[in-house]
Amino acid sequence: MPAVSPLAPASFPELPAIAGMRLATAEAGIRYRGRTDVLLACFDKGTSVAGVLTRSRCPSAPVEWCRARLAGGSARALVVNSGNANAFTGKSGREATKLTAALAAQALGCRAGEVFLASTGVIGEPLDAGKFASVMDRMVAQAEPSPWLDAAKAIMTTDTFPKVATATARLGSAQVRINGIAKGAGMIAPDMATMLAFVFTDAPIAASALQALISRGVVDTFNAVTIDGDTSTSDTLLAFATGAAPGAPAIARAGDRRLGEFRAALDTVLSNLSEQIARDGEGARKLVEICVDGAVSKRSARRIALSIANSPLVKTAIAGEDANWGRVVMAVGKAGEPADRDRLSIWFGDIRVAHKGARDPAYDEAAVAALMKKPEIKMRVALGLGRGSDRVLTCDLTKEYVTINGDYRS
Amino acid sequence: MPAVSPLAPASFPELPAIAGMRLATAEAGIRYRGRTDVLLACFDKGTSVAGVLTRSRCPSAPVEWCRARLAGGSARALVVNSGNANAFTGKSGREATKLTAALAAQALGCRAGEVFLASTGVIGEPLDAGKFASVMDRMVAQAEPSPWLDAAKAIMTTDTFPKVATATARLGSAQVRINGIAKGAGMIAPDMATMLAFVFTDAPIAASALQALISRGVVDTFNAVTIDGDTSTSDTLLAFATGAAPGAPAIARAGDRRLGEFRAALDTVLSNLSEQIARDGEGARKLVEICVDGAVSKRSARRIALSIANSPLVKTAIAGEDANWGRVVMAVGKAGEPADRDRLSIWFGDIRVAHKGARDPAYDEAAVAALMKKPEIKMRVALGLGRGSDRVLTCDLTKEYVTINGDYRS
């Protein structure tokens, strides 16, 4: 097991119970020994569900299962396993999802279409879903409101720490809660197939409204994080709203003005979890924030920021604590977006290193060198063309990344 | 200095003289000590020129110089320096190109607009072109027909070996020659600003025809090689045709039927040089050929092949000698091109490891493991959708890549 990432949060927040749901974990022995590898979340009747799933053309079987069932809008259970992604497993993969959902439905007395699934781990190995049979009834019987850290641990793969986040918001005259858990150590390590995040709230929000909230919510959070530019076959974000918060008004539309505080709290949870994924990037030693402004649009700024964030040469320079702004120029130039070399300025932290198409004559190499030694690096690129801006998070590319990903299967 | 790449060719071919041109190299002391860092090629009157230049939005000053002068179509000199890319150098960069061209024009008695330039090395440092003044007259005086290997050495930066190639072709009743030299060790190391290639022939080919030939020629050669997906600010391919081959017919159009053999020979030179760049990829220990077929179009096959070739997870798996086909599935899935998971098959060498959306039950892990230990790895992806196919070359992503690119400036 790798040591805990040096960028890990100092402590974990305590997550409160969410009315209308319970959690349980178990050791089903899918791949790992001596640790939990399956999570069950049980929801009371009336729980709505929404989801954002990978855009990969080669999605895992559970991703296809969820995509087909999200239209139903209601959930009674979530079953997540680690150790096997049930991806690229053909017909047997589809059968494994069916069996898993049937087992949970039987144990809970609900319809299989109200059971949501996610799997993370090795690609291409058949998943023996029969192993869930021996633990399902016990998990239903033992499920409790608050083992949140246990839940986050059961879904870990190459993660070096469990990822949890929580926030509260006023909704009408009620206080509602939002909890989230996630796994992912690499925007993707597709072998370990990858980024899973689950958000739970007791707010009574209709499925269509919840869908609109999370679809917008991922844009500047999960979709603005990249470890290696590799997109998983299994990326899944599911949100569940039990509606059990006492006194909260039922919300039918995402445009409802009463959602202001809730939306902000939801964004906080998504943003917190996605930052933790960047902090646990495989081999990462530096958290890197890349801000682009002056682009012709936000979309253009995003593409330029991702071109920088995914450049192996930028990422290795950061690993080497080298303020190599020439590589940033290269990454801006190759992004295929409008850019004018002679208007371009670049900052590392607060130090402007390049200005209007040339090295900033005033910058102090020693000051920049000191800044590059810090664990968190902020980089800003000003294009000077328009008003489009954006921000993405990434990490450095270290020899440990190569080690982790060169040695994993063997 | 790094050791010579284990993928380097066993020996260098001897390049013949090209009638109508001469070469000289010198130590101008731009950045390196104790080695040559400037190359001059002098051409007789009547030499035509064509070029393909980086699409970066932040191109170097020499790239802009060449782009503006290619329309003229005639060349009397090429000046290339290593050690400084003259990129992101603002007004001083433009002045350095002017001065370099003026010095060469004066020494040769030609117009500055007939002098072509390329620079490779550090980005963002002003280039002191005055240093060329002390060596230019001597280079003109000492230029000779055949110091090809010296020419290739003078333009190296992080390259571990000089890159030369040669071919001959029948044109009408004459035999014509094509020589090429290149540098690049990384599709790009923009710090070292990057891929330069120069091709010289004694065939009498008009500039517009030469342009059409190389524009088509790069598609499946230089543009089908990727080391790290990073595109340089300085990528330059220039072709010069002196027309001095005795008895060769003047060719005005690229569609001329007499060009058949010449086109094949030119493609051989471009292909040979571009493969050498992949073989000298920074830190490379494996040459990787990725073939995609059954795509909806060649363009789609190219994008999928590049998605695989640029995936850090695929490249680290190859470095780890792991036939991790799950990562290939991931890279196909993320390419954004039509793909049907359940029709997908994948081969490493001749061994089919995945078939129709699942692991091939027949494949022998030991045989694949043995194959992955070889220095040259071939990977084939069959999409089963259409007739589009393509091929790209890349290399593995090793800890040495991280070392080279993390430590370079410091």
DSSP assignment of B207-230: HHHHHHHHHHHTTTTGGGB-SSSP
Residue from the list A322, A336, A354 with its beta carbon closest to the beta carbon of B88: A354
Q: Which pLDDT band holds residue A101 (cuts at 50, 70, 90)?
A: very high
B238 touches chain A (CB under 8 A): no
Sign of CA dihedral A225, A227, A231, A233: negative
| Other Cβ atoms within 10 Å of B113 Cβ, number | 16
Of A189, A322, A354, the CB nearest to B409: A322
Please tell me what DSSP assigns to residue A335.
T
- Say yes or no: A252 contacts chain B, CB-CB below 8 A: no
Q: What tokens does B76 get?
A: 């009397």
Range scoring the smallest mean pLDDT among A72-81, A141-150, A183-192, B119-128:
A183-192
CA–CA gap between residue B190 and residue B188 (Å, rounded):
5
Asked if A332 and A384 count as a contact pair (C-beta separation under 8 A), the reply is no
Rounded average pLDDT over A287-294: 95
Please compute the mean of the pLDDT values over residues A19-24 and round it to a whole number: 97
Say yes or no to pLDDT of A334 above 50.
yes
Identity of the amino acid at B131: K
Look at residue B280 in the predicted model and tell me its pLDDT.
83
Cα separation values, B327 from A96, A123, B230, B232, Å: 22, 8, 21, 27
Mean pLDDT for A112-134 is 93
Candidates B184, B69, B83; CA nearest to B129 is B83
The sign one gets for the Cα dihedral A127, A133, A134, A135 is positive
Question: What is the rounded distance in angstroms from the CA atom of residue B215 to the CA atom of residue B224?
Answer: 13
Task: Give CA–CA dist B131/B32, Å, rounded.
Answer: 13
* Of residues A59, A324, A357, nearest to B409 (C-beta): A324
Q: Which residues of A264-297 are buried (b: 16+ CB within 10 A; e: fewer)?
A: ebbbbbbbbbbbbbbbbbbbbbbbbbbbbbbbeb
**Chain B residue at shortest CA distance from A85:** B326
What's the pLDDT score for residue A178?
94
Task: Give me the residue from A56, A90, A322 closest to B410, CB to CB.
Answer: A322
Check residue B355 and give left, alpha or beta (phi > 0: left; psi -120 to 50: alpha).
beta
pLDDT at A321 over 50: yes
Instruction: Encode pLDDT of A59-86 as tens digits.
Output: 899 999 999 999 999 999 999 999 999 9
Residue B409 pLDDT > 90: no
**Mean pLDDT across chain A, nearest whole number?**
90
A334 with B87: CB under 8 angstroms? no
CB-based contact (8 Å) between B386 and chain A?
Answer: no
Average pLDDT over residues A91-95: 93
Rounded alpha-carbon distances, angstroms, from residue A60 to A197, B50, B92:
16, 49, 54
Q: A313 and B189: CB-CB below 8 Å? A: yes
Structure tokens at B179: 């020589």
pLDDT classification of B290: cutoffs 50, 70, 90: very high
The C-alpha R_g of chain B, in whole angstroms, comes to: 22
A312-319 vs A325-334: helix crossing angle, rounded to 10: 160
Q: What is the pLDDT of residue B2?
A: 55
> pTM here?
0.81
Split at pLDDT 50, 70, 90, the class of A407 is: low
For residues B36 and B27, the answer to whether their CB atoms sit within 8 Å is yes
Three-state DSSP class for A48? strand
Sign for the pseudo-dihedral over CA of B135, B137, B141, B146: positive
Bridge partners, B43 (sequence order): B21
Q: What is the four-CA torsion angle of B119, A323, A219, A86, rounded to 10 degrees?
A: 90
CA–CA distance from A67 to each of A50, A52, A54, B104, B164 (Å)?
10, 9, 10, 66, 54
Residue numbers in A near B333 (CB within 8 A): 54, 56-59, 231, 233
Distance CA A400, CA A189 (A): 14
- Per-residue pLDDT at B282: 80
Higher pLDDT, A401 or B294: B294
Contact B330 A401 (CB under 8 A): no
Task: Provide the pLDDT for residue A283.
Answer: 83
pLDDT band for position B55 (50/70/90)?
confident
Catalytic positions of B, please? 194
Q: Name the region of A86 (left: φ>0; alpha: ψ -120 to 50; beta: rest).
A: left
Residue A189 pLDDT greater than 50, yes or no: no
Whether residue B128 is predicted with pLDDT greater than 60 in this model: the reply is: yes
Residues B23 and B147: beta-carbon distance below 8 Å: yes
The pLDDT, as a whole number, for residue B186 is 55
Distance from CA of B65 to the nearest CA of A (A): 15
- Asked whether A377 and A7 are in contact (CB, 8 A), the reply is no
Give me the percent of chain A exceeding a pLDDT of 70: 95
Q: What is the pLDDT of residues B58-108, one digit of tens each?
A: 889 999 999 999 999 999 999 999 999 998 888 999 999 999 999 999 999
pLDDT grade for B4, boundaries at 50, 70 and 90: confident
pLDDT at res. B157? 86
Catalytic hit among A25, A97, A120, A194: A194
- pLDDT score, position A310: 87
> Distance (Å) from the C-alpha of residue B390 to the closest C-alpha of chain A?
19
For residue A368 the two structure tokens come to: 């920049």
340-359 of A, contacting B, C-beta below 8 A:
340-342, 344, 354, 356-359
Average pLDDT over residues A54-59: 83
Instruction: Check whether B349 has a pLDDT greater than 90.
Output: yes
Q: Nearest-5° angle of CA B152, CA B153, CA B155?
A: 75
Nearest residue, CB atoms, B90 vs list A337, A358, A397? A358
Q: B326, A408: Cβ pair inside 8 Å? A: no
Q: Please state the rounded mean pLDDT for residues A390-405.
A: 86
Q: Are B69 and B143 in contact (CB under 8 A)?
A: no
Note the pLDDT tens digit of each residue in A226-285: 776 666 677 888 999 999 999 999 999 999 999 999 999 999 999 888 888 888 888 889
For residue B395, the tally of other CB atoms under 10 A from its CB is 31
DSSP state of B121: E
pLDDT at residue B406, as a whole number: 77
In eight-state DSSP terms, residue B250 is P
- How many interface pairs between A and B have CB atoms less than 8 angstroms apart? 248
For strands A77-84 and A38-43, give the pairing.
antiparallel
Closest by CA position to A266, among listed A326, A218, A314: A218
CA-to-CA distance for B56 and B65, rounded, in angstroms? 14
pLDDT mean over B138-156: 95
Report which of residues B316 and A76 the model is more confident about.
Answer: A76
* Residue A122 pLDDT: 83
Q: How far apart are the first and last CA of chain A?
A: 14
Strand partners, A43: A21
Q: Is A403 designated active site? A: no
Check whether B114 has a pLDDT greater than 70: yes
Q: Is B365 on the interface with A (CB under 8 A)?
A: no
Residue for token pair 């070392």:
B403
